[in-house]
Amino acid sequence: MPKFVQVAIALPINRLFHYKIPEAITNEIAIGKRVFVPFQNRRVVGYIAALSEEADVLEVKDIEAVIDKAPILSDEMLKLTKWISDTYFCSWGEAIGAAIPAGIKQGKREIGSRIKESREKKEGLPSTKPHTLTEEQSSALKNVIESVDKKEYKTFLLHGITASGKTEVYLQAIDHALSKGRQAIMLVPEISLTPQTVERFVSRFGDRVAVIHSKLTAAKRFLEWKRIKDGRASIVVGARSAIFSPMNELGVIIVDEEHETSYKQDDVPRYHARDVAEERAKLNNCPLILGSATPSLESYYKARKGEYRLVRLTKRIEERLLPKVKIVDMRMELATRKKIAIFSKILLDAIENTLKKKKQAIIFLNRRGFSTFVNCKKCGLVLKCKRCDTVLVYHFEEKKLICHYCNYRQEPPDICPRCRSSYIKYFGLGTERVESEIGHQFAHAHIARMDSDTTAKSGSHDRILGEFKSGDTSLLVGTQMIAKGLDFPEVTLVGVVSADVTLNVPDFRASERTFNLLTQVAGRAGRGEDGGEVIVQTYAPSHYSILTAAKHDY
């Protein structure tokens, strides 16, 4: 038996640390287990990454205790986290810390025994049968199934227009993997992890589905992790961190909306879940499906080079047409009406016609709040966050100025803090103001708003979408939360209040993101038997990202 262990610690020090194995716990030692070890003047949690006969220092401290009865990290997970460490320049311990639930990271023993397992039954709808696939869907699925059967790694870029049936391809690919005794991971952006998405998987696969996302409590997150590790869940649907689910027999990995920036983690380790998914698929010899109506440029480039297999879905289900898109030049609107207006006459008329027909509309603006900046008209001061120097946004309901970056809050001033004048004015608009203004225009309509402010409370997300699905709400105002993952057949109109919001940000991907968002939100219209219409308001009607989105021309 080796005398020493090499331990990874979740600190920004990129090396392993040697610790001596006390004779009393020799039989408890195994790679992948957690241990308590002394580090400087404190006790920390470490992860056994290797065993060795020799140490790299003369004085070696003893392991204080072994935490686990069985390893919590498989050989595959150790290889994956080591790859993350090497690729994203973080320590191995930091990479491991990102791959496990918070309670485990803190070194708690037998967490599950102290948590009453009171999971809601994932019955959803009665078990649904697979839909009959179109010719394009069948061709796409056939390619994936061949890789599942051969247990070979291959990445497929599934480029399908909105409402082309990508999700059904995912479901049947997963079903095939399960029939071979294997497992599946389905990644979706956090904002797309709607009850509608989860319900579709649960209705097909029942209690075999585990759901992982950031709004779960630590206890519920651990319970889902333990279900997966114990083999009681064979499908994981989740956001970015779900890629680390403890599965040993992966048959397929899917990354839906692969272009989404939320797959990139901002904190250490700064990994991209799409790239981690690719590495994990290689380690498991299984296919990876990257799906999107608007693939990222890097993925499309790899597909054109032959590194990925490009598979296209060019038609909507049941031959339904893509919505017609009208671009409204708000400069002309300003010249005609002699004042700045939130809504063009074309959009107002379209909303009125939609309501008369008892249909529904989505009004999109990718900016929350009421007024997006507060300015002193005398000295020109724009009120900014004291912590991070970001422009403060006024929220009418809370009567507060809020920083959307660090959540700093303050009361709106009556006088300018610089020149002491009272010429304080509120400019710009966000979803809160759009909701207010549209309520004045259509007082008889039932209106709801969906953004990170209105969905902060538990259950509010489900309630808003449930009321819209049932028809109780006829107009839904929202940010990018409503741009994807929603399928409401009664939505025949999508109005984009300002397509310029994402264009005018200091981001080299601004044009790409604008095209993606416009294409995705436009795809919410016309998914039922009735046709759809999209009205895009902009002060830059000739910008290529807006023109190509209007033509559905990727």
For residue 499, the domain's CATH number is: 3.40.50.300
Confidence of residue 112 (pLDDT cuts 50, 70, 90): very low
What type of residue is 373? Answer: F
Residue that has been written with the tokens 């989505």 in this structure: 362
Domain boundary among 318, 333, 352: 318
Would you state the structure tokens that stand for residue 232, as one six-digit string? Answer: 């009681």
264 in a structural domain: yes
292 in a structural domain: yes
Residues 397 and 465 in one domain: no
**What's the rounded Cα separation, in Å, for the pair 477 and 480?**
10
In the chain, the number of structural domains is: 4
Q: Rounded mean pLDDT of 98-109?
A: 80
Residues 90 and 172 in one domain: no
Residue that has been written with the tokens 């003893």 in this structure: 62
DSSP 3-state assignment of 83?
Answer: helix
Q: Rounded mean pLDDT of 403-412?
A: 87
**What's the rounded Cα separation, in Å, for the pair 238 and 189?**
8
Report the CATH number that the domain containing residue 76 is assigned in CATH. 3.40.1440.60
> Residue 88 gets which letter from DSSP?
H
**What's the rounded Cα separation, in Å, for the pair 94 and 108?**
18
Residues 362 and 379 in one domain: no
pLDDT at 219: 87
Please check the confidence at residue 496 and state whether its pLDDT lies above 70.
yes
**What's the rounded Cα separation, in Å, for the pair 174 and 208?**
12
Cα distances from 359 to residues 224, 461, 497, 536, in angstroms, run 39, 22, 19, 19
127 in a structural domain: no
Would you state the structure tokens that stand for residue 58, as one six-digit string? Answer: 């003369």
Rounded to 10 degrees, what is the CA torsion of 198, 199, 205, 211? 30
116 in a structural domain: no
pLDDT digits (tens, 9 = 90+) for 286-338: 999 999 999 999 999 999 999 999 999 999 998 889 999 999 999 888 888 76
Q: Rounded mean pLDDT of 402-426?
A: 87
Q: Are strands 42-52 and 4-9 parallel, antiparallel or unpaired?
A: antiparallel
Residues 385 and 267 in one domain: no
159 in a structural domain: yes
Q: Global pTM?
A: 0.89
Q: Rounded mean pLDDT of 78-105?
A: 94
Would you state the structure tokens that stand for residue 239, as one six-digit string? Answer: 């956001």
Would you state the structure tokens that stand for residue 373, as one six-digit string? Answer: 């900046």
Rounded to 10 degrees, what is the CA torsion of 215, 219, 221, 225? 180
Please check the confidence at residue 546 and state whether its pLDDT lies above 80.
yes
Please check the confidence at residue 121 and state whether its pLDDT lies above 60.
no
pLDDT at 38: 97
**What's the rounded Cα separation, in Å, for the pair 290 and 274?**
8
pLDDT at 120: 45
Could you tell me which residues are beta bridge partners of residue 449? Answer: 477
Confidence of residue 118 (pLDDT cuts 50, 70, 90): very low
Residues 386 and 313 in one domain: no
Residues 476 and 345 in one domain: yes
Confidence of residue 109 (pLDDT cuts 50, 70, 90): low
Residues 29 and 144 in one domain: no
Domain boundary among 391, 411, 428: 428
**What's the rounded Cα separation, in Å, for the pair 105 and 102?**
5
C-alpha 535: how far from its chain's center? 26
SS (H, E, C) 314-368: CCCHHHCCCCEEEEEEHHHHHHHHCCCCCCCHHHHHHHHHHHHCCCEEEEECCCC
Question: Are 493 and 351 contacting, i.e. CB atoms less than 8 angstroms apart?
Answer: yes
pLDDT at 158: 98
pLDDT at 299: 98
Please indicate whether residue 370 or residue 535 has the higher confidence score (pLDDT).
535
SS (H, E, C) 203-246: HHHHHHEEEECCCCCHHHHHHHHHHHHCCCCCEEEECHHHHHCC
Question: Are 248 and 75 contacting, i.e. CB atoms less than 8 angstroms apart?
Answer: no
Would you state the structure tokens that stand for residue 360, as one six-digit string? Answer: 């529904």
233 in a structural domain: yes
Please check the confidence at residue 124 and state whether its pLDDT lies above 60.
no
Residues 362 and 417 in one domain: no
Residues 459 and 375 in one domain: no
What type of residue is 297? Answer: L
C-alpha 284: how far from its chain's center? 24
Please check the confidence at residue 23 and state whether its pLDDT lies above 90.
yes
Closest CA to 493 of 313, 304, 348: 348
Cα distances from 389 to residues 384, 449, 536, in angstroms, run 5, 28, 32
Range of the domain at 494: 320-368+430-550
120 in a structural domain: no
What type of residue is 505? Answer: V
Q: Rounded mean pLDDT of 399-419?
A: 88
pLDDT digits (tens, 9 = 90+) for 167-213: 999 999 999 999 999 999 999 997 767 777 888 999 999 999 999 98
**What's the rounded Cα separation, in Å, for the pair 237 and 428?**
38
Task: Give the dihedral sign, CA 85/88/94/98.
Answer: negative
pLDDT at 398: 82
Residue 146's φ and ψ, nearest 5 degrees, are -60, -40
Helix (H) or strand (E) holding 279: helix 273-284
Residues 416 and 508 in one domain: no
Residues 347 and 478 in one domain: yes
Q: Rounded mean pLDDT of 53-67?
A: 92
190 in a structural domain: yes
pLDDT at 265: 94
Residues 6+ apart with CB under 8 A from 213: 190, 193, 238, 239, 242
Please check the confidence at residue 387 and state whether its pLDDT lies above 80.
yes
What type of residue is 363? Answer: I
Residues 231 and 257 in one domain: yes
